[in-house]
Amino acid sequence: MTIAQDVILSIDEGTSGTRAAVVGRDGHVSCLEYAPLQVDTPRPGVVEQDANAILDKTLAVCRAAIARASNENLRIVALAIATQRCSAVLWDTRTGQALVPAMVWQDTRYVDELNRLAPEWDALLVRQMGRPVGVRSPYLWAAHHLRETPAVARAFDERRLAFGTVDSWLLWHLSDRRACVTTPTNVTSGSAYVLAGHRYHLDWIDALGFPRELLPELREDADRFGNTRTELLGIDVPILACAGDQHAGAIGLGCLDREQAMCVHGTGSFVDVITGPVQPANAGLHDGTLTMTARRAHGVSHFAVETFVATTGSALNWVCEKLQWFDNAAQISALAATAGSSRDVTFIPALTGLRVPAMEPAARASLTGISMATTRAEVARAILEGIAHSVASCIQANEEVSGVRVSELVVGGGLSGSSALLQIQADLTGMPVRRTKETDRASLRGIAFLAGSSGLLWDSLQEARTTLVTDAVFEPQVGADERNARRALWHARVASELAHTRNFNHASTGEIPS
């Protein structure tokens, strides 16, 4: 009889979809199951999801992965969870149901209110939390619902209201402890977590009008979160890790050490430079570049500097599904590979605003430089170049804030499967771009590494990292002059969009632009 192989069940609950799979000692991800998730944008600035649907689909993919693992004689010994980070949920602890649509991390509905708080709070928050007030706050969102949504206010009065990000929501349901908890890689994104102190900034929480008693308990990313509820999943195993999907992806790509950099392409593209247990040298230098907790375990936090482009994968979906210009993202990549250049056609993927080179939520996406001679393949290439330019700008900003010089970019996520995109990325950054095998499963693998690296499957994260295999390395194929010219055109087009946005804003308020 074949001896069962021990594996960890991993959940990767992203914005566009939920996945579950198992990860073995060799780092291989198998029994993968996926379910898409709907994102709703009922009006500009408002981005929402159905948290109850998130839970239902997470359970469905887990059950399917568990069944496949059983059929393949794989023994699940732990659960690990990676989640989208700054999406917030309010739910009824009596029924277990979400009371309002979840606020997705792309949401900017309260940006004006936060902007009014920024002059008083930005400097303090940057110093203690590595980030300014920003354009969204899950705590402000919840405070508004407490005042404006009767069902939420009633649940709070009757002491049956819970609040948290998606990690809190899933852990409350999946763990037998039924506790409302959160982890550093998730809570950091909410802009109320003191990095050095592993605690909430309670004065800021008070200023947002959020009741302290609703704050989830702070845990570590590698921790014991109880055991799985057998009535939901049919297995009784410890839950040993829960982290933000981006940081799980970094671990799954082997980015553990200072000066390593990675980009995970999902709904958005997130670029991180690891600074280790040392916080960045120039926090606050760029509004759109933030200090993150990369992971926390055994009382020690490791940090990263992060910048993201909110709409890259979702921009491709928008181009394909709403505009119907292309059948799918794979077709965009294939067409782009046939075009020698975009012939100065430029796509700025700012469907929910810009972060780099300036924080401007009101900026919009644009496709410019089109002529009668423009071909479909050139438009496809311009779309990929827009993503690659945005990532290049993120890397530059991260280097300036972190004080770290990056020599190689490691990539993960669905779009990293596009060799055309990665070659463009190497050309625009002037640095090698490395893709590992199973790169699109980095978050699933990384969260399993975090759960299993204290002796369960591996003795350390460094040992787990040795299982990674390089798929391809893309070297720059253009010289500095061409690279600089292409970057200059991009910067000029972005500057034009920023100027248009600011002039429009001034015109709408009757102000005269300076």
Kindly report the three-state secondary structure assignment for every residue of 253-298. Answer: CCCCCCCCEEEEECCCEEEEEEEECCCCCCCCCCCCCEEEEEEEEC
Classify burial at 192, counting beta carbons within 10 Å of its beta carbon; exposed 0-12, middle 13-18, buried 19 or more: buried
Say what the pLDDT of residue 310 is.
Answer: 87
pLDDT tens digits, one per residue of 263-306:
988 888 989 999 999 999 888 888 789 999 999 999 999 999 99
Looking at residue 498, what DSSP letter applies?
H
Q: How far apart are CA 85 and CA 183, in angstroms?
A: 10
Q: How far is CA 53 from CA 56, 58, 317, 355, 386, in A?
A: 5, 8, 20, 30, 32
Classify burial at 17, counting beta carbons within 10 Å of its beta carbon; exposed 0-12, middle 13-18, buried 19 or more: middle
Q: How far apart are CA 130 and CA 301, in angstroms?
A: 14
C-beta separation of 310 from 352 below 8 A? yes
**Low-confidence stretches of the chain (pLDDT beneath 70):** 1, 504-514
Say what the pLDDT of residue 28 is.
Answer: 96
Give the residue ranges of DSSP H helices in 361-460.
Answer: 376-402, 419-429, 442-452
Say what the pLDDT of residue 283 is.
Answer: 85
- The pair of structure tokens assigned to 157 is 């009065």
Residue that the structure tokens 């936090």 belong to = 301
Q: How far apart are CA 248 and CA 81, in angstroms?
A: 9
C-beta separation of 131 from 291 below 8 A? yes
Write phi, then psi, for 103 (nearest 5 degrees): -85, 120
Say what the pLDDT of residue 501 is.
Answer: 87
Residues 6+ apart with CB under 8 A from 476: 426, 427, 429, 430, 431, 432, 483
The H-or-E segment that residue 125 falls in is helix 111-129
Say what the pLDDT of residue 514 is.
Answer: 42
Closest CA to 413 of 252, 254, 259: 252
Q: How far apart are CA 493 and CA 259, in angstroms?
A: 31
Residues 6+ apart with CB under 8 A from 369: 342, 343, 344, 345, 346, 382, 493
Write phi, then psi, for 423 (nearest 5 degrees): -65, -45
- The pair of structure tokens assigned to 9 is 């069940």
C-alpha torsion 14→20→21→23, nearest 10: 60
Say what the pLDDT of residue 502 is.
Answer: 82
Classify burial at 509, counting beta carbons within 10 Å of its beta carbon; exposed 0-12, middle 13-18, buried 19 or more: exposed
Q: Could you tell me the pTM of the whole model?
A: 0.87
Say what the pLDDT of residue 179 is.
Answer: 97
Q: How far apart are CA 248 and CA 318, in angstroms?
A: 26
Residues across the chain: 514
Secondary structure E strands in 88-202? 88-92, 102-103, 161-165, 181-182, 193-194, 199-200
Say what the pLDDT of residue 508 is.
Answer: 53
C-alpha torsion 117→119→123→124, nearest 10: -40
Strands 88-92 and 161-165: antiparallel
pLDDT tens digits, one per residue of 192-232:
999 989 999 999 999 999 999 999 999 999 999 999 999 99
Q: How far is CA 81 from CA 75, 146, 166, 189, 451, in A?
A: 18, 29, 10, 17, 9
Q: How far apart are CA 183 and CA 467, in angstroms?
A: 26
Residue that the structure tokens 């001896």 belong to = 3
